[in-house]
Amino acid sequence: MRQLFGTDGIRGTANVDPMTSEMALKLGRAIAYLFKNRKGRHKIVIGKDTRLSGYMLETALTSGICSMGVDVILVGPMPTPAISVITKSLRADAGVVISASHNSYEDNGIKFFSRDGLKLPDEMEREIERLIFSGDLDAIRPTATDIGKASKIEDAVGRYVEYVKATLPKGFDFSGLKVVVDCAHGAAYRVTPMVFQELGAEIIPLGVKPDGTNINAGCGCLYPDAMQQAVMTHGAHLGLAHDGDADRVLFADERGNLVDGDQVMGLCAKELKRDGRLAKDTLVTTVMSNLGLELAMREAGIRTERTQVGDRYVLEHMLAGGFNFGGEQSGHIIFLDHNLTGDGLITALQVCHYMVRSGQPLSTLANCMTPMPQVLLGGRVARKPDLDGIPVVVRTRRAIEDKLGTSGRMLVRYSGTEPLVRVMLEGPDEGTIRTLAQEMLDTILGQVGVEES
């Protein structure tokens, strides 16, 4: 049983266990010890998003890492995927990101990258937990010159900007393209506008004035309405919206219609296959992706392989199977030829590249699949018992699956980062599946309890 880590690092209310300064210090000591496994000085990169609590956690992590004799390189607010890139670029031993992604500013989180720029596997996260709770590190106290030091690098943004621009063909630019860019007042508030302007696009910036408390507030991936409206108001060719740490992106086409991760994966997979660059003609996605995507890919001669929810599991499957493209419906898209994690900016650049190259609007490119009606409901839970061990939940689930037959499917899962249960149904009639989804959700909440606000 995990004590700290969820599907994407550690997350919770800032200054409430486990997202406290005390725990951050212990995490810093554990990660420093874990990666201090070669000769010479060691260094760990720390980046963050724009939350007020980032200062507190950054300071505590830095103290913990330095107390184990490892140096810290601070890069300030930067997208999560940028930390993967910079960790590799600086030949650092590990990277740390302080971010709660799409959550509101009251929350924060901590996640780690290895020196290869990869998110840590489950077994390494379990070892971090063991080191923290066992007390094995308490007596390890370097002194004098063996204590680590912290420093800032000023060119982190520039390094990442040049890296992502290099994912486009040499000399390619976006002259004549008008783009609405919503950065959710988050980690990409400087980087994404800078990249698009340097590539010649005209931008309409939204969500680029973080104040520590407005991250994800009525903007970005969770609230794309303003981005969609701005596309129509300004006559833009498209709009894009990041989440707080910019590892994902959603789009609006030139008509203001939302384009989700499934559509993005569909259009990009087809373009990659056309270029002969889709490894094994396979798209890797999760069980949450719409069945319509799978059917469209099959028609295009592309195989679809599914994993459990979480971009880390998509990546693990890609690496194990020799695949180079995958992602999630939520907008986490992994171009493995360019980065080892979901990267909202790289995804945005590739989509714009395909638009400009083809001369077709995003609405045409995104019309690559016919989505089956899908309903996703969620509820906050007081606890997370095994649902397969609750008889009434099992009976309700079986009854709903019998009603769906072969014309639909249902998925029920707890969130790995929040006290939530999610119920997803697909089927030919939206009204019917919405009623069934609500029945399933009500049954679960009646058994596990609703979290008190």
Which structural domain range is residue 146 located in?
10-154
Q: In terms of Cα–Cα distance, which of 344, 310, 421 is closest to 9?
A: 310
Q: Is residue 97 part of a domain?
A: yes
- pTM assigned to the model: 0.88
Asked whether residue 108 falls in the same domain as residue 253, the answer is no
Asked whether residue 180 falls in the same domain as residue 278, the answer is yes
Q: Is residue 220 part of a domain?
A: yes
> Which DSSP letter does residue 402 get?
H
Q: Give the residue from 325, 349, 371 where a domain finishes.
A: 371
Q: Is residue 26 part of a domain?
A: yes
Distance CA 313, CA 427 (A): 26
Asked whether residue 93 falls in the same domain as residue 172, the answer is no
Q: Give the residue from 371, 399, 426 where a domain finishes.
A: 371
Q: Is residue 5 part of a domain?
A: no
* 101 is a catalytic site residue: yes
Catalytically annotated residue among 53, 67, 99, 101 = 101
**How many domains is the chain built from?**
3
Instruction: Read off the pLDDT of residues 82-123 as tens digits, 9 standing for 90 and up.
Output: 999 999 999 999 999 999 999 999 999 999 999 999 888 889
Distance CA 31, CA 148 (A): 14
Mean pLDDT of the chain: 95
Instruction: Read off the pLDDT of residues 295-336 as tens digits, 9 standing for 90 and up.
Output: 899 999 999 999 998 888 999 999 999 999 999 999 999 999
Alpha-helix runs per DSSP H in 136-290: 156-165, 191-198, 225-234, 261-274
Q: Is residue 1 part of a domain?
A: no
Structure-token pair, residue 296: 């469209």
Query: For residue 148, what is the domain's CATH number?
Result: 3.40.120.10
Asked whether residue 382 falls in the same domain as residue 365, the answer is no
Dihedral in degrees, nearest 10, Cα atoms 437, 441, 444, 450: 180
Which pLDDT belongs to residue 122?
86
Which pLDDT belongs to residue 451?
83
Distance CA 332, CA 417 (A): 16
Asked whether residue 205 falls in the same domain as residue 177, the answer is yes
